[in-house]
Structure 1
Amino acid sequence: MNIGREPYEESDDAAPVEMLAQVFEAHGWPCEFNGEDEVTSEIQGSWTTYQVKGVWRAEDRVLQFLCLPDVRVPDNKRKAAHELLALINEQLWLGHFDMWSRGGVLLYRHGLMLGEEGLLSLSMAQVAIEAAISECDRFYPAFQFVLWGDKTPRQALDAALVDAAGEA
């Protein structure tokens, strides 16, 4: 995924949720504030629509960036899903996949530590969005193979990575 950069001024840093909202709005993605420290959008990926959230913790100057592909893991598939999460996370340089214990909701999560001013640059916002969508698209098939295709976690990951390599 390559989000166009034309409509922005690179020198403009902003409060993290404000910057994310500006990027979401500039691309026409629906955007909603859930309080002053959280913003949510929906972005169409290659396989599904992702819920993308930015949650700001001012005391730590950390922006938690979440991408949820609307995948819920049923109880009988949790063990295999956890094994797949571990295999996938070995492949990642930034962020990680996780599953909430309540409800089995699958998500990609990345924490951005911001400087003393607590401002997010346009380029950081763009990279965070691109990385989250890219990683979710890259591994979405693996989760589907485990949940609905009855593949083992290793088979699912291998098949997903082969499929992704063939998409060029």
Structure 2
Amino acid sequence: MRPSEDRYEVEEDAAPLDMLVALFEARGWPCDSTATEMSGEIQGSWIKYQVRGIWRSDDMVLQILCLPDIRISKDKLAPAHELVSLVNEQMWLGHFDIWSNGGVLLYRNATMLGDDGLLSLGQAQALVEIAVDECDRFYPAFQFVLWGGRTPAEALEAAMVDAAGEA
């Protein structure tokens, strides 16, 4: 790898998890990996996110998960699900979900790779940046519902206005 301004270049595409680990190491982000999964941590605008890459070689699918460490209590599940639905209408790639086991909020995006099952550095950067950007973009909306007492519609509107005002 050679640094080129803010981006790193590799000579060729690589196995998806190897490429993600190389990206994390080049950026100085902590990460660990196994044969089928990598996990790392990235500082977002609001908090640190746990980012996971899960590789299914049978299907040639790389799944990226980004977890903003938000657990949703049972009494907030209904408005949180409503907000997830409203947020997902705003999304172009990936979606938010609430795991039924533990009420964990997460962003999820799956990418089918070609027959060679390789990932380029550009693809890896885009997948990770999109995940973190979407979590940053909607993090305030979830906080408004969970802690601010706003309705899902009010929370989304407030979060979208705040995001539009940033430069």
Moved over 6 A (4+): none
Deviations 1:80-119, CA, capped at 9 Å, x for gaps: 0000000000000100000000110000000010000000
**CA displacement at 1:8 relative to structure 2:** 1.2
Amino acid at match of 2:98: M
TM-score of the two chains, using structure 2 as the length reference: 0.95
TM-score of the two chains, using structure 1 as the length reference: 0.95
Per the alignment, in what secondary structure is the counterpart of residue 75 of structure 2? Answer: helix
Deviations 1:133-161, CA, capped at 9 Å, x for gaps: 10000000000000000100000000000
**CA displacement at 1:12 relative to structure 2:** 1.3
Instruction: Name the CA distance, whole Å, in 1 between partners of 2:66 and 2:53.
Output: 9
2:65 pairs with 1:66? yes
Q: Percent identity?
A: 62
Aligned partner of 1:39 in structure 2 is 38
2:57 pairs with 1:55? no
Aligned partner of 2:6 in structure 1 is 4
Counterparts of residues 107-146 of structure 1 (less than 5 Å): 107-146=106-145
Per the alignment, in what secondary structure is the counterpart of residue 136 of structure 1? Answer: helix
**CA displacement at 1:31 relative to structure 2:** 0.8
Instruction: Name the CA distance, whole Å, in 1 between partners of 2:92 and 2:59.
Output: 22
Per the alignment, in what secondary structure is the counterpart of residue 66 of structure 1? Answer: strand
Per the alignment, in what secondary structure is the counterpart of residue 138 of structure 1? Answer: helix
Structure 1: give runs of 5+ residues left out of the alignment: none
**CA displacement at 1:167 relative to structure 2:** 1.4
